[in-house]
Amino acid sequence: MAKMKAEASSEEANLFIHKQEESEDDDDVWDDAQLVKAYDRAIYKAKQQILDKIQKEMSLTEADIQDVLGDPPTPKKRKKRKNKSNTGGNYPMWKVGSACRAIWSEDGEEYEGEIVEMIDGNWCIVRFIGYNNEEEVLLRELIPSFGKSVIEVQLASAMSYNAALKDQ
């Protein structure tokens, strides 16, 4: 970040800011490929950790786990785009009825859900499976569902949670 120096005249209340050095970030055109790769690796690792916990509770086979995880992320060569602007609103994989994962804002945890409504091409409403809570979520923040076995575990957890609420 550029270092800044502020000077104020004793006669005036104006503040002048002088840049002392140029920031290299201003001129660089960046590519988000490294960020995407890091994100993919983090998601894959998170899925593995969740499935390890689930595997302890249920009798999942390695094939079940691999179905949910898919292939490990590998570096893909991407063509550099000339236009770096975000086109926004281009989320063709998400539609009403799509299974997904989203973060429930009240506890910050990620849950399986289903898109119940699309809002202006950038937002949707997700209903969390088993809990039936709904949250307005940016489409770019949605994560693909981990699959049927994880949904079944969440349903069982939600049933226990809902039963405990009724007992109170």
3-class DSSP assignment, residue 126 = strand
The residue ranking higher by pLDDT, 138 or 9, is 138
Q: What average pLDDT is seen over the chain? A: 75
The model's pLDDT over 21-56, given as tens digits with 9 standing for 90+, comes to 555 454 455 667 677 777 777 787 787 778 777 777
Sheet holding 143-144, edge to edge: 134-138, 123-128, 109-119, 99-104, 143-144
C-beta of residue 131 within 8 angstroms of C-beta of residue 158: yes
- pLDDT > 70: what percent of the chain? 61
Q: Whole-model pTM?
A: 0.48
* Distance, CA of 3 to CA of 17 (rounded, Å): 10
